[in-house]
Amino acid sequence: MKLLEDKIRQDGIAVNEHILKVDSFINHQIDPLLMQEMGKDIANHFQNKGITKVATIESSGIAPALMTAAAMNVPLIILKKQPSKILNQDLYQTVVTSFTKETNYELTLSKKYINDNDHVLIVDDFLANGEAATAALRLLRMSHATIAGLAVLIEKSFQPGRDKLQNQGIEVYALARISKMAENYIEFIP
Ligand code: 5GP
């Protein structure tokens, strides 16, 4: 998506070869019109796929996921992070290892908001190693819902996330695909 690539070139900060900061328009301060356009683009790509719900992981996926859900006119489910494991019969639960924060956390979803009739699109801000998306998949599949795909704003294609998801039969749609980064240097896949 040209709009996003231009914005990343203008305001994104490549900290090093691994980390891109987009705090001024996605992660800390949000550009609402850009976010709305990105939501519409994702909704457009997945239209006529019978999607009943959009799901995301709190917290940085909420803005793009909400815009996508609004454009599709379906509910948004937020998979919630909890620091400790407290077993609860009303929840689906799975443990996630966060490489960026080097911690483990529990991802949870209330059984009330999902069932086997749901066809779910997962939306997140970044795809890197694919750990967060894989955990979301694992959790959603516990409910026997089916998965329509994964949409992300920014894919770091030099990391293994896309392959990991596609190997599980998941369609991956990314609005901007970065093939290479270095300090103050960003290269996109056309
Ligand atoms: P993954 O599980 O695919 O490795 O990474 C998932 C999460 O890590 C993303 O949802 C995002 O919040 C965060 N993340 C990974 N790489 C980056 C990055 O380069 N910049 C920012 N801002 N967040 C990242």
Domain boundaries, the chain: 32-177
Phi first, then psi: give them for residue 10, nearest 5 degrees.
-80, -45
The alpha carbon of 98 and the centre of ligand 1 are apart by a number of angstroms equal to 9
Model confidence pLDDT, tens digit, residues 34-55: 999 999 999 999 999 999 999 9
CATH number of 32-177: 3.40.50.2020
Task: Looking at the CA of residue 57, tell me the nearest atom of ligand 1.
Answer: 10
Question: Which atom of ligand 1 lies at the shortest distance from residue 135's CA?
Answer: 2
Show the ligand 1 pocket: residues with CB < 6 angstroms: 19-22, 27, 60, 99-100, 124-133, 156, 161
pLDDT of residue 136: 97
Instruction: Flag whether pLDDT at 99 surpasses 70.
Output: no
What is the SS3 assignment for 157?
coil
Average pLDDT (3-25) is: 97
Residue among 100, 127, 134 to mutate when testing ligand 1 (max atoms within 8 A of CB): 100
Mean pLDDT of 155-170: 97
130: CA distance to ligand 1 center in Å?
A: 9
Task: Judge whether 109 and 133 are in contact, CB under 8 Å.
Answer: no
Work out the average pLDDT over 63-92.
Answer: 91
The Cα–Cα gap between 68 and 45 comes to: 11
Confidence class for position 87, pLDDT limits 50, 70, 90: confident
Kindly provide the residue ranges of all beta strands, DSSP E only, lying in 53-144, ordered along the sequence: 53-57, 76-82, 91-98, 103-110, 119-127
Distance (Å) from CA 54 to ligand 1 centroid: 19
Supply the residue whose CA is at minimum distance from atom 20 of ligand 1. 20
For residues 1 and 41, the answer to whether their CB atoms sit within 8 Å is yes
